[in-house]
Amino acid sequence: MMASATERSSIMLDAPSGWKVRRLETFATKVGSGATPRGGQSVYLTSRVSHALIRSQHVYDRRFDREGIAFISEEHSQELRNVEVRPDDILLNITGDGVTFARACIVPNDILPACVNQHVSIVRVDRNVCDPGYLLAYLTHPVTKRYMESFNTGGSRRAITKGHIQSFEVPLPPIPVQRRIAEILLAYDELMENNQQRIRLLEVMSRALYREWFVRFRFPGHEKLSRVASPGGDIPKGWDVKPLSQLCSRMESGGTPKRKNAEYWDGGEISWFKTGELWDGFLFESEEKITELGQRESTARLFEPGTLLMAIYGSPTVGRLGIVTRPSSCNQAALGLVADTKQISQTFLYFVLLSLRDHFNGMAQGAAQQNISKEKVAGTSALVPPRALVTAFDRVAEPIFAQLQTLQCQIQNLRQTRDLLLPRLLSGQINLP
């Protein structure tokens, strides 16, 4: 729903008396977005020649994601020289859907030199007036976020202009207080990033083990087994190839309770996940919740802890996974899958689905709606080793998954604490020297 002009006229952020309130344009030295170099996808390079090209998918709230970063040539970077990023610049997503829009972070130094495309704005400030870390806190404040997210150009697309950003009224305490607020919030960010690094290492270890055993067939005792022909090529003797429908005891899509019925949503306590929340990790809290009535009177089925949710809409989202940690539901763009434990384990099923992601995306890209059906997932074949080998794999993989869940839970708790602190720091409720 598009916000009215009155609702979007200003950001009402509580601030203690004595703090100056200034329009962002009065202390910003740059507010502006970039462009996409001419030539389409062919200009994107996989290794650095000159500049990195920052796109909206790299910008998260208070975090920069380097995955899939593209590089451009010196020639193309010259086209974008007016939108070259500098240290401590703030990156703000100014167009996008409800997932990517209005996310903001500070550019990391190790990605420089870099430019931005047209979906990302550079916000650069006079550091004698405003600390960049403090301004980032302002841009990620819940009130500021709601204000920016109210901008809707129709459908699911949102956009905010340079003029809107320049008109933001920012409460400015003395510079030492600004820096102290930024330091406190940065400490939480660094703790979360440390956990993220540990998570990435554990993920690399577990995925490498799966590939070694079940892709390269270098599992314990592999020397003693001969190979036999199968529809997918030669496989170890005693292994099988089966459709996923035969390897799962449950495979069901979710649903969305009617939005117009408040009884389905107001005061809901059942987590209801959307595909944008699936990032190959454990699922703790959903962005939206539904009531028991909403779950019962819709196709939003209830899935037990341990269930794997897999996105089936929106390439390249297709195939992304989430592991339910409490009874939860999901929308119709995801499937809930439970392994038939007589044949495989839930942990093994996770890696099977992960290994099939490119296959699922290939099918989705060939469809007009950029999605795959439950029937196509059910009919997809997977390699099935003997149950004893799956059990041996679980003895190594499951302790890793337990560590992953602990680390991701810690990140969730740190994020919640930081997000509770943020508005209190910017309202003066926490007294800082």
**What confidence tens digit (pLDDT) does each residue in 373-402 have?**
999 999 999 999 999 999 999 999 999 999
pLDDT, tens only, 42-61: 677 777 778 999 999 999 99
pLDDT, tens only, 318-352: 999 999 999 999 999 999 999 999 999 999 999 99
**Total number of domains constituting the chain:** 2
Residue 282 counted as domain residue: yes
Residue 100 has pLDDT above 90, yes or no: no
Nearest Cα residue to 88 out of 117, 109, 61? 109
CATH number at residue 127: 3.90.220.20
Do 124 and 26 share a structural domain? yes
User: Which of the listed residues 172, 188, 210 is the one where a domain comes to its end?
Assistant: 172
Do 259 and 141 share a structural domain? no
**Contact call for residues 281 and 323 (beta carbons, < 8 A):** yes
How many angstroms separate the CA atoms of 140 and 102, rounded?
Answer: 9
Do 272 and 147 share a structural domain? no
97-129: burial string, b at 16+ Cβ within 10 Å, e else: eebbbbbbbbbeeebeebbbbebbbbbbbeeeb
Nearest Cα residue to 357 out of 400, 308, 427, 290? 308
Do 31 and 125 share a structural domain? yes
Do 130 and 255 share a structural domain? no
DSSP secondary structure of 144-194: HHHHHHT--SBTTBEE--HHHHHT-EEEE--HHHHHHHHHHHHHHHHHHHH
Residue 155 counted as domain residue: yes
Residue 410 counted as domain residue: no
Do 259 and 144 share a structural domain? no
Do 281 and 166 share a structural domain? no
Residue 373 counted as domain residue: yes
When comparing pLDDT for 37 and 70, which is higher? 70
Residue 431 counted as domain residue: no
**Contact call for residues 165 and 34 (beta carbons, < 8 A):** no
Phi, psi (degrees; rounded to nearest 5) at 271: -60, 135
Nearest Cα residue to 115 out of 161, 70, 64, 68? 70
Q: Which amino acid, 397?
A: A
Do 378 and 256 share a structural domain? yes
Do 251 and 122 share a structural domain? no
Give the residue numbers spanning the domain of 303. 240-384
User: Which of the listed residues 172, 194, 216 is the one where a domain comes to its end?
Assistant: 172
Which DSSP letter does residue 9 get?
Answer: S
pLDDT of residue 11: 62
Residue 401 counted as domain residue: no
Residue 284 has pLDDT above 90, yes or no: yes
Do 244 and 136 share a structural domain? no
Residue 182 counted as domain residue: no
Residue 117 counted as domain residue: yes
